[in-house]
Structure 1
């Protein structure tokens, strides 16, 4: 019976494939099975919460990729994963689709065990193994990931027992006379392949210059917001005029050169916000937002790997 069902679903999917399926294009770009032992380690314990998950580890991981790719809430992810044949295909036609509670619990366990970071590290290892290492330099930048502030005053803490969606860790900040509440996504993207290599998540009020994602030896191109900030690599930060010290012609020309290098750095944020619709989160802590950001940037890198593949075949 199950083989007949799978045959029928494959036949149904063939119609979708004729129209082009982006998920089917990104699926073979990385080795998913390598992530299995990373996830499995979360369940290898002898407590009452131990034991293997009832659903395949890669299905669970791919559910979070689908959620990030399409900007879905947990309930909407469950609905669409049961409804869309392209989602079924991407998940490998599992016998059972994880429900919203299972997805939430899986994401929480990733956070508690730090396996979300291990998943990100494995993705970077696979990227490097494809010969896509950082060579020319990196671009560091940051963008706001907004959250729900609720109805209380900005400086009034949210009570731990409050049953509201108001963010626990989000903070207010102002940029260009516009107020934002929530978090910041800090990214380091390589210039060579426009892949995100490092990320960090902070409250929105933290100044960009307080985060340094570079490694020794890397050329780090940054805008004026990082002026005066630390840099472990070669500091290619734009100069900023200060009181009594206007920029001279040499500094202005240097800024123009850095601007040209930095220009591609805005693309990930355009994809994250305009295509993935992940510029706003409903989760309530920095850790939860960071895990969301990891899978959003994971999805962006899959999209970019496909772009690189298309360029190499033309």
Structure 2
């Protein structure tokens, strides 16, 4: 069997480029070095005076998290594919002979960032990159939330009562190993969905209510570029509307209009937006036991044309990156959702830059 040499590798990489290697485009478009200061601050590695094997480069490790998020990979699968795929190696700047981080190293790196609460700073760092590239907030913003599934918990009724009241069940306290696998922050909620038409062509009288367990991702996107500008992670049972007053609105957006569905319509929110100088474009609710006035129907329909743009964000995240929380606890869920939001913005940045280049050529 012929031994592979550097020329064979270069030829294979050139072929991957010709086939459209997305990660190669990431490397050309996104300057990952901008994340280094925040990564080094969060990791707080020693200076190496005490000896020992030096840690992997933090930017390389962060790029591994990007690969993992893009492809919805577990830590073990990430380790295997980084060793197996030339496109992954090129993206990370690794040669065939270089040492590759194992699954435990990837987990420890992500855990260290999680404990340091670094994901918000990393998100803001890339948002600054977007602004410096000219993608400014000048067209208003759209708010919405989506449910993010997590592994279901099988708890007794007594354990559920303890969790709702903020207590750790006694049985879990006596068994640390069991406690470490119990998610005390994820919650059950009901997800309402439109009922499907039956075989005889009729529709059920009510929508379907599906039990759902996990977390919720709240986002605010800018109207023009559809990039995520503000976000927050909560348990699945948290109210959508209450998040509006918890930093989800971006005051730097020079256009004051705010679009959202009826879940965000409340007197408290309307008063808050009026006080902060925002113009509410939030859908109005149907009057109780009364038909919806025609003028409100027309107004809501016009708002929906704009508000629906946020649905594409969630559809992209779930179809392209398989947004799902494999971990335990709100801090790790926040890390997972935050990474998904950064990667979504990176992919959006690639699209916008490609569109800008095309317009320049025209």
Q: Tell me the TM-score normalised to structure 2 length.
A: 0.79
Shift of 1:163: 6.0
In structure 2, the partner of 1:292 is 336
Shift of 1:152: 2.2
Whether 2:57 is the aligned partner of 1:56: answer: yes
Distance 1:223 1:248 in 2: 17
Distance 2:343 2:6 in 1: 27
Shift of 1:309: 2.1
Structure 2: runs of 5+ lacking an equivalent? 164-168, 193-208
Shift of 1:306: 1.6
In structure 2, the partner of 1:218 is 256
- Comparing 145-154 and 299-308, the one that deviates more: 145-154
1:104-253 equivalences in 2 (<5 Å)? 104-153=107-156, 155=160, 157=163, 159=172, 161=176, 162=178, 165-176=181-192, 177-212=209-244, 213-216=248-251, 218-228=256-266, 230=269, 231=273, 232=276, 233-243=278-288, 246-253=291-298
Change (3 A) 1:301 1:30: same
Shift of 1:44: 3.5
Change (3 A) 1:311 1:97: same
- Comparing 153-162 and 15-24, the one that deviates more: 153-162
Change (3 A) 1:67 1:311: same
Distance 1:195 1:294 in 2: 13
TM-superposition CA deviations, 1:273-292 (whole Å, max 9, x none): 111112x2110111101111
Distance 1:74 1:125 in 2: 29
In structure 2, the partner of 1:19 is 19
1:189 aligned counterpart, secondary structure: strand
2:43–2:112 contact (8 Å) kept in structure 1: no
- Comparing 208-217 and 295-304, the one that deviates more: 208-217
Shift of 1:300: 1.0
Shift of 1:26: 1.9
Shift of 1:104: 1.1
Shift of 1:199: 1.1
Shift of 1:304: 1.0
Whether 2:345 is the aligned partner of 1:301: answer: yes
Distance 1:46 1:20 in 2: 40
Shift of 1:7: 6.1
1:215 aligned counterpart, secondary structure: coil
1:188–1:199 contact (8 Å) kept in structure 2: yes
Shift of 1:114: 2.1
Change (3 A) 1:31 1:223: same
Change (3 A) 1:109 1:218: farther
In the alignment of these two chains, the number of paired residues is 309
Change (3 A) 1:53 1:290: farther
2:217–2:233 contact (8 Å) kept in structure 1: yes
- Comparing 225-234 and 90-99, the one that deviates more: 225-234
TM-superposition CA deviations, 1:139-179 (whole Å, max 9, x none): 11100001112322472647362167442211000021111
1:43–1:53 contact (8 Å) kept in structure 2: no
2:143–2:260 contact (8 Å) kept in structure 1: yes
Change (3 A) 1:224 1:6: farther
